[in-house]
Each structure stands twice: as C-alpha cells, then as structure tokens.
Amino acid sequence: MKLPFTFTQFVKNPFAAIAFICILGMGYLYIDAQKAQEKILEECKIDKKEIKDDLEEAEKERDKWMKKVEDLIVKLEKRHN
C-alpha cells in the first residue's frame, strides 16, 4: 500500500503527516465504535425478547394461581354461609 505522502514530504511538513495519521486513527476508532454499538444493540434485542417471553409466562402462572385463589374464596364463602 502506497501512502499519500513520502518520507521526504513528512520531513518537510511533519504536522500534516501526523494530522493525516490521526485522522486515519479516528476513522478506525469510529468504525470500531459503530460495530460495537451494533453488537450491543443486537444483544439488547435478544435480552428484550427473552424478558418478554418470561413476562408472558409469569402472567400465565399468575392468572392460573389467581383462578385457584378465587375458587378457594368462593368455597370458603359457601362454607361460612
């Protein structure tokens, strides 16, 4: 890979060469951060689905137990009347 500047140009204007290298580094870090953010977002989507499934299961269990409690209350009320 040929760099857009030569060593002699680097010696003549080291600030421009260092600035160019810094821009390349920042570009790399930006792309890396974007990929990391995408990975985190995907993991969050998976976690959200798992939590939603767990919540639905817990609601079904709650409804089942609430029905049993209601049946017990009805039986107790019949005994006391």
pLDDT digits (tens, 9 = 90+) for 50-75: 999 999 999 999 999 999 999 999 99
So what's the pLDDT on residue 5?
66
Residue 29 φ/ψ region, left for φ over 0, alpha for ψ in the -120 to 50 degree band, beta for the rest = alpha
- Is 50 in contact with 34 (CB distance < 8 Å)? no
Domain ranges of the chain: 7-80
How confident is the model over 30-57, as a mean pLDDT? 96
So what's the pLDDT on residue 81?
72
Residue 24 pLDDT > 80, yes or no? yes
* Of 16, 38, 36, residue with least CA distance to 28: 36
How confident is the model over 30-45, as a mean pLDDT? 96
Whole-model pTM: value is: 0.56
